[in-house]
Amino acid sequence: MQNIGKISNSYLKKDKSLRLVKFEKKHISKKYLIWLRNKEINNNRQRYSKHTYPSAIKYLQNTKKTNTLFFAIEVYKQSKYSHIGNAILLLDRQNQRAHLSILIGDTTMKNKGLGFLVWKKLIDIAFKNLACKLVVAGTMNSNKPMFKIFKKCKMKILVLPGYFFQNRKKDDLIIAYKTRKK
């Protein structure tokens, strides 16, 4: 992956209190597995999977074989960096497109604007470091924090009504995209 060293150590704030680092085996902790199993935190298509330590290791190994940049989101607190979430940039080089995904698992870090900072950085990495022309992401309409990030990043929105069926209710699929300015 081009510039992976430079990208994976990208700080998001000038005070270096928030950073993206390459996701490694050390990030797969009990706390991490709880995030993946929590249906209120984890709004992705794999939210119904039974996540275990071996399945997380297998997923990490599989990302290394693909055009996937898998980041741990870390914040500096109590004199050390703490893993608070993950970000994924899946690269389609042929079509110069990136699919973005984010999970802030540490609920004490919710509603602090960190997801927005990470999201902006992912878009920046896709456009500036990886020469993508398009970034795209999706979520359910019920995932209001993600929808808010899409809007704040000035992404274009498409809505597919009733695409998801969850808890005996239909939910809309929100697709967000942004093209690189020429």
Number of domains in the chain: 1
Q: In the chain, where does DSSP find H-type helix?
A: 4-8, 30-37, 53-64, 114-124, 144-152
Contact, 18 vs 122, CB < 8 A?
A: no
Q: Tell me the per-residue pLDDT of 90-100, one tens digit each, with 9 for 90 and over.
A: 999 999 999 99
Write out the residue range of the structural domain in which residue 158 sits.
4-179
Structure tokens at 176: 């967000």
pLDDT at 1 over 50: no
Q: Tell me the per-residue pLDDT of 63-121, one tens digit each, with 9 for 90 and over.
A: 888 889 999 999 988 889 999 999 999 999 999 999 999 988 888 888 888 999 999 99
Query: Which residues are CB-contacts of 115 (< 8 A; sequence separation ≥ 6)?
Result: 85, 102, 104, 145, 146, 149
Q: How far is 28 from 19, CA to CA, in rounded Å? A: 17
Q: Domain of 38: which CATH number? A: 3.40.630.30
